[in-house]
Structure 1
Amino acid sequence: MFLSGATAAFLMASAAPLQAQTANRLDPGGLTFRDFGVPDNGSSFTRGEQSIGGGTTQSFTRVLGIDPTSQAVRLRFDSVKVELLLPMGWQASEDGERGIAYTLDKRIRLIVWRVDFVYEGVRDAEHYAATKAGSMKARRPGVQAQARKLRDGSFLVVYENVPKGPSDSSGPRTVFDLILPNPKDPKVGILVTLGMPANEASRGLQLLALITQNMRTDW
């Protein structure tokens, strides 16, 4: 659909965030967790809501450690067997299917999922990226999608002009999907989804790079 040989032409059609990334890899661009958080020594991760819309019960995510120097907190999402380093001043919770993290005002939201590509009706991570991008564009007229296979074998999809959600004060939004295939089994993988207001999206890929470069996964 848009990967492999067609990717270059697809990306050149829009001056979008993907073009800011060089050498087919995510790069923090000199930014650190300090640029995305609040120095509260990790206290935000032990307070706040424990449920989300629709009444779905969630539990707080385990804090494994606090790094005052980098102003980041390491957490364990047991539901998806993933550890993440996240900025101070955020909150995180999880249910049986996903790990969720967000700024206190929920302006920036991160979701980590386990994906079974066969169950989703696709062959692998590449097919999943193409199918999801196409589905989003079909369901949400006006949404633009771009994709690229990165050097490490993961797939990055950027959705622009995404309508704001019920809890968002302003819109539209930009959403980044990073699909990480299991190196031992290409039929399964991890999906990291990061969404934010479109007017803040210029730093979105840098934040995604920070988070995923410090991610640990139990495959």
Structure 2
Amino acid sequence: MKQKRSRQVSVLAAALAAALAVAGASTVAQAQPLDTGGMTFRDFAVSDNGASFYRGDPMAAGGPNQVSSKVLGIDANQGFARIQFGSIRIDINIPLGWQATEDWERGVAYSSDKRYRLIVWRVDFAFEGVKDAEHYAATKSGSIQARRPSVKAQARKLPDGTFLIVYENVPPVQGDQERRVVFDLVRQNPSNAKEGVLITLGVPTSDAARGLRLLALLNQSMSITW
């Protein structure tokens, strides 16, 4: 068990070194951009021609207002569906074989085995008590570590102005087989520093490197109506 855990930590460390090469000593420092590493949505997809997005899931998380999200198109060759989260005015590519739902404040997507779980949120920084995306990233990473000392959080500013927070050693919930890594990617409205969008992607620790690649794909594909 100890050897397996060490291998998982090594894989994560290598992935973070590639994606978060720090160029400075500040808490939120300049880093390398997110990189797909040559991976595509096909690496995360199930070839079902988009059937999963039209199939309801009675076990899906969410409240009574949870509804299936609109499918704008299917690209079977590239392995993704173009999904519209209408309630938050965001379009994004999701791997085939996943499902996508939303309510009034967020969009949710997850793999068929629920090992990969994605949430896309609108963020009102003023409501959160912070002034902008940088302040939000620093505050959230610090507060998570204060509430859960076993969780290690790192926040980095990326060259495109987004902020990446990586949470390691996140406890599993019901149905998970191992501890998890959670990535937060915060994007600020270029016209209004008080508004932003947050992508939260959680994956098993053993899939941390793949999770970073998927986060890069999601980020590249996202279209926001501010």
Normalised by the size of structure 2, how large is the TM-score? 0.86
Letter in 1 for 2:99: Q
1:4 maps to none
- Are 2:70 and 2:85, in contact at CA under 8 Å, matched by a contact in 1? yes
Identity of aligned residues (%): 57
Distance 1:20 1:26, change over 3 A: same
2:92 maps to 84
- Are 2:65 and 2:104, in contact at CA under 8 Å, matched by a contact in 1? no
1:11 maps to none
After TM superposition, the structure 1 = structure 2 runs for residues 1-219 of structure 1, keeping only pairs within 5 Å, are 15=13, 17-21=15-19, 24-49=32-57, 52-53=60-61, 55-166=63-174, 168-219=175-226
Letter in 2 for 1:19: A
- Are 1:50 and 1:57, in contact at CA under 8 Å, matched by a contact in 2? no
Distance apart, 1:16 and its partner CA: 5.8
- Are 1:50 and 1:93, in contact at CA under 8 Å, matched by a contact in 2? no
- Are 1:61 and 1:75, in contact at CA under 8 Å, matched by a contact in 2? yes
Letter in 1 for 2:17: Q
Letter in 1 for 2:13: A
Mapped partners of 1:78, 1:40: distance in 2:
24
Task: State the number of aligned residues.
Answer: 205
| 1:59-117 residue CA offsets vs partner (Å, 9 max, x unmatched) | 00000001121011001001110001111000000011100000011110000000000
Normalised by the size of structure 1, how large is the TM-score? 0.89
Mapped partners of 1:82, 1:55: distance in 2:
20
| 1:174-210 residue CA offsets vs partner (Å, 9 max, x unmatched) | 0000000001101110000000111111111100001
Letter in 1 for 2:147: R
- Are 1:50 and 1:60, in contact at CA under 8 Å, matched by a contact in 2? no
**SS in structure 2 opposite 1:176?**
strand
CA RMSD of aligned residues (A): 1.6
**SS in structure 2 opposite 1:70?**
coil
Distance 1:115 1:51, change over 3 A: farther
- Are 1:50 and 1:59, in contact at CA under 8 Å, matched by a contact in 2? no
Letter in 1 for 2:205: A
